[in-house]
Structure 1
Amino acid sequence: MLASHMGGEWSEVSRPPYLPVGMRWEKAVADGLPADVSHAFGIFDRTLYGIQVAGMSPSDYWWLTERENACGACREEAGAIDDRWPQAMRGEEARVSVARRL
C-alpha cells in the first residue's frame, strides 16, 4: 500500500479504476499529424507511441483501437499497457484506497 506524507499530514492514496482500452485514450489532434491516421494522445504532448508535434492536444473523442485508421504503433502500445494491468485488479471492487494515520 502507498501513502503520501505532505506537510505533517498523511494523505489518502488511491489507485484509479481499470478502464478498457477504448475508454482510456483520447484521439490526438495537431496540425502536423496526418489526417488519415488516428493517433492516441499519451502524455507530455506526445502520441501514445511517442510522436511529438507542437500544439498537440487530446480531442473530445475516444481513440478507438478497432477503427481501421487507428495507428498500429499506438495500438501496440495501448495493448502492452493494458496487458500490464493485473487481471485481479480490473473489477469495480478492485479500487484500492488507503488512509494512514500517525
Structure 2
Amino acid sequence: MDRGVRCEVCGHPVRSAGEGLRVCAHCYAVTEEGIGPWTYEPPSRRWERAEMPEPEPHHAYGFVNSTLCGLTGDDIVASPYPWIPERPAACPSCRTAAAVIDARWPAEKRLPRRIRSAADIENGAPPF
C-alpha cells in the first residue's frame, strides 16, 4: 500500500501496481498517475476472463495472478476476452464478488461518459 494515498473513488488506501498505476483493493478502481481514475464500467464490461488451466468455470481476472473469487497462482493471467457475469459458465463466486465491488462505487462516480452531439462536432469538438 502507498501510505497516505487514497482512492479517488471510494477513499480507501491504494497500492502501487507499477508503471504509474495504483489499484484500490476495496473498489478495484485503477488510477493512472497524472490522469486520475479510469472511468466506471459495469461488471459486464469491466473484467477480463482469467486464463487458467481449467477451462470452466470462467473466472474474472482480478489483479496480479488472481481471480475475483480469490484463486491465485502464477498460471492465472488475464485473457484478451471479456468476462461476462451473465453467462452460465461464469464462476458464481466471481459473480458475487463483482457485484459487491460494483456496489462500492458511489453513485456520483458512475456518471456515464459524455456523448458528443452533432452540434458539439460542428463547433469543432472532436467526435470522441
Residue 46 of structure 1: aligned partner: 66
Residue 94 of structure 2: aligned partner: 74
> Structure 1 unaligned runs (5+)?
3-10, 95-102
2:42 paired with 1:20: yes
Q: CA deviation at 1:13?
A: 5.0
Q: CA deviation at 1:79?
A: 0.4
TM-score between the two structures when normalised by the length of structure 1: 0.72
1:35 to 35, 40, 55: 55
Q: 1:93 to 1:38 in 2, by over 3 A?
A: closer
User: Relative contact order (C-alpha < 8 Å, sep 6+): which is higher?
Assistant: 1
Aligned length: 84
| SS of equivalent to 2:84 | coil
Percent identity, please.
Answer: 33
> Structure 2 unaligned runs (5+)?
1-5, 9-32, 115-128
Runs of 4+ in 1 over 6 A off after TM superposition: none
